[in-house]
Structure 1
Amino acid sequence: MAHDLADLSPAYLAFWGEHLMSTLTTPRRDGSPHVVPVGVTYDAERRIARVITRGGSTKARNVRAAGADGARVAVCQVAGRRWATLEGIAQVRADAAAVAEAERRYAERYGRTPTPNPERVAIEISVVRALGRA
């Protein structure tokens, strides 16, 4: 079920705040999907989902390989019959401010500050579609 990004329900937004793990799907060079478990945060006001990872991770490499226009990706989470997917265009951000913001939001959602990692980057997803049943 599709949702209007400009008018997401309180239940849908609350679901993205629960302590749940998600999956991130990125395209491999051959077009096949690479799906991995991640922690993700969603900033509904800016329509940005964020994932923190190592700069050399496969997911970060897949996003970079898509080029300057970014990679079409999806993050998804499930809890019983409730589910939500955010689709959008991802870019890897290595600047300190973007990484710090992603870490702050991760700590807020998951209740723990990520261990310091000088190789950390943020995958920022400009969300263009929201689906789900939350």
Structure 2
Amino acid sequence: MPPSIQRPDAVTVPDSVEAFLTTTVLVAAFTTLRPDGTPHVAPVRFTFDAAACLARVMTVATSRKARNLLAAPGGRVALCQVDGFRWVTLEGTAEVVADPARVERGARLYARRYWSAAPTPPGRVVIEIAVDRVLSLNT
């Protein structure tokens, strides 16, 4: 079965994809672009709000992924969760957010998904990804 591709102007998230992204507790590969254009891939925990098409990654402002996005505001990213031969990739534009209320919301959603509090290092931020494309296989 070929991957399904949703066009940016018509993002819909099938129930099976939403379940895979919200109930299957796995890490994902998060890809950003360094200032020189080369990809940076890091394993991350994340949350996904299908109704808002918004994914969130907790991190610190000094992390490579955050610095990549701060160097190119509105940059495109990809977040891919894999389980055997099932996978979902979320693509979209990302923003590094330091607003305390939004960081706290990200932390609450993280705690709900991963059954433990998000780390609280100095400089904690949330990366918010406005998902405009969903690709999947076997979900």
Measured against the shorter chain, the TM-score band is over 0.9
How many Å separate the matches in 2 of 1:115 and 1:37?
15
Provide the alpha-carbon RMSD of the alignment: 1.1
Correspondence for 1:15: 20
How many Å separate the matches in 1 of 2:56 and 2:84?
23
Correspondence for 2:130: 126
Runs (4+) of structure 1 exceeding 6 A deviation are none
SS in 1 for 2:25: coil
SS in 1 for 2:66: helix
Correspondence for 2:5: 2
Correspondence for 1:53: 59
SS in 2 for 1:130: strand
Contact between 2:58 and 2:118, CA under 8 Å: does it hold in 1?
no
How many Å separate the matches in 2 of 1:35 and 1:115?
20
Gaps of 5+ in 2: none
How many Å separate the matches in 2 of 1:41 and 1:116?
17
Q: How is 1:5-84 mapped onto 2 (pairs within 5 angstroms)? A: 5-6=11-12, 8-17=13-22, 18-67=24-73, 70-84=74-88
> What TM-score does the superposition give when structure 2 sets the normalisation length?
0.90
Gaps of 5+ in 1: none
User: Percent identity, aligned pairs only?
Assistant: 47
| Offset at residue 5 of structure 1 (A) | 2.3
Count of aligned pairs? 131
> What TM-score does the superposition give when structure 1 sets the normalisation length?
0.93
How many Å separate the matches in 1 of 2:136 and 2:43?
18
| Offset at residue 117 of structure 1 (A) | 2.4
Cα shift readout 1:34-92 (whole Å, capped 9, x = no counterpart): 0000001111111111000011100000001003xx11000001001100000000000
